[in-house]
Amino acid sequence: MISYTKNQTIVQAGEPFVCFHIITEGSVAAVFDSTEIPKSFTLKKGDVIGIFDFGFKEYSFTYKALESTSVITYSLTDFSQMEKLLEENKELSHFLILSMVFSVSKVMNHYHSLYSQQEKIYQYLVTAASNYQKLCTMLNLPVKSLANKEQLLPFTPGREEPDFWLETFYQSLKTPIMEKNPIFSNPALIVGLLARSVDDMHKILYCSEDIAVYLRDVSRLLINETSLDLFDLYTDLLFRAKTAKKETSALEERIQKMISILTGQSFIDKNLATNRIQEYERELKRDHSYDIALEESLPQVEQKLAHSVETILDYADSMAVTRGEFLKYIDLYKKLPDKNSLDKTADTIRRQLTRLFNLIYTEVFQIALNDPTPPTIVKMFLHFGYVDLELAGLNNAAYMYSIAKNYQGDPSNGIYTLYEWITAIYQGKKQPSRNELSQDYSSYVHTLRAQGKIDAKGVQKMLDDTTGKVMYELESMFPSVNKVTQGHFTTFCPIFIQENVVKDLSSILVTPYKLRESLNKLLEVDFSAFYRSYLYADDKLGLRENVMLNIYPDFILMPNVGSNGICWQEIEGMQRSTPGRMMVSAFHAENLDRTVINMVGDFRWEMCRRIQGMRWNDITERSLTSEYYDYALFYNKNRELSQDAKEKIKLALGRAKNNYKNLFVIDYANWILFESRGSVKLNKVVRKIFSAYIPFRAEICNNLMTNNTFTECIQLYDLKKKQQLHRLRKLVQKFLAQGKSVPDVIENQIHLIDK
172-176, 222-226, 606-610, range with the lowest pLDDT = 172-176
Return the percent helix, strand and coil in the chain, to nearest 5.
60, 10, 30
Q: What percent of the chain has pLDDT over 90?
A: 48
Instruction: Give me the pLDDT at residue 292, please.
Output: 33
Bridge partners, residue 43, by sequence: 28
The one-character DSSP state at 183 is G
Task: For residue 709, count other CB atoms closer than 10 A to its CB.
Answer: 15
Mean pLDDT of 518-544: 86
Instruction: Give me the pLDDT at residue 200, please.
Output: 86
395-399, 413-417, 509-513, 704-708, range with the lowest pLDDT = 704-708
Is the sign of the CA dihedral 285, 289, 294, 298 positive or negative?
A: positive
Where do runs of H (alpha helix) occur along 79-149? 82-88, 92-139
Mean pLDDT of 641-670: 91
Give the model confidence (pLDDT) of 400-429 as tens digits: 998 998 899 999 999 999 999 999 999 999
Instruction: Give me the pLDDT at residue 174, please.
Output: 78
Give the model confidence (pLDDT) of 437-469 as tens digits: 888 899 899 889 899 888 888 889 999 999 999
Q: Domain locations in the chain?
A: 118-289, 293-500
| pTM of the predicted structure, to 2 decimals | 0.73
Q: How confident is the model at residue 289 (pLDDT cuts 50, 70, 90)?
A: very low
Instruction: Give me the pLDDT at residue 288, please.
Output: 45
Give the SS3 label for residue 28. Answer: strand
305-310-313 Cα angle (round to 5): 125
Cα pseudo-dihedral 162, 166, 168, 170, rounded to 10: -130
Mean pLDDT of 564-570: 94
CA distance 188 to 324: 85
Task: For residue 160, count other CB atoms closer than 10 A to its CB.
Answer: 9
284-293, 358-367, 380-389, 552-561, range with the lowest pLDDT = 284-293
> How high is the mean pLDDT of the chain?
88
Cβ contact 447:521 at 8 Å: no
Is the sign of the CA dihedral 244, 247, 250, 256 positive or negative?
A: positive
Mean pLDDT of 329-352: 94
Cβ contact 663:653 at 8 Å: yes
Bridge partners, residue 29, by sequence: 42, 64
- Say if residue 254 is exposed, middle or buried (CB neighbours under 10 Å; 0-12, 13-18, 19+): middle
Query: In the predicted model, is pLDDT for residue 569 greater than 90?
Result: yes
The one-character DSSP state at 406 is T
The one-character DSSP state at 431 is P
Query: In the predicted model, is pLDDT for residue 101 greater than 70?
Result: yes
Cβ contact 521:383 at 8 Å: no
400-402-405 Cα angle (round to 5): 90
CA distance 613 to 616: 6
Query: In the predicted model, is pLDDT for residue 691 greater than 90?
Result: yes
CA distance 616 to 600: 18
Is the sign of the CA dihedral 332, 337, 342, 344 positive or negative?
A: negative
Q: Which helix (H) or strand (E) element contains residue 219?
A: helix 187-219
Give the model confidence (pLDDT) of 349-407 as tens digits: 999 999 999 999 999 999 999 998 999 999 999 999 999 999 999 989 999 998 998 89
CA distance 407 to 400: 9
Query: In the predicted model, is pLDDT for residue 705 greater than 60?
Result: yes
Q: How confident is the model at residue 580 (pLDDT cuts 50, 70, 90)?
A: very high
118-127, 435-444, 597-606, 612-621, range with the lowest pLDDT = 435-444
Give the model confidence (pLDDT) of 193-219 as tens digits: 888 888 888 888 888 888 888 898 899
Instruction: Give me the pLDDT at residue 615, please.
Output: 93
CA distance 69 to 64: 10
Strand order in the sheet with 69-75: 2-4, 69-75, 19-25, 48-49
Q: Which of 255, 225, 224 is nearest to 238 (CA)?
A: 255
Cβ contact 192:108 at 8 Å: no
Instruction: Give me the pLDDT at residue 290, please.
Output: 35
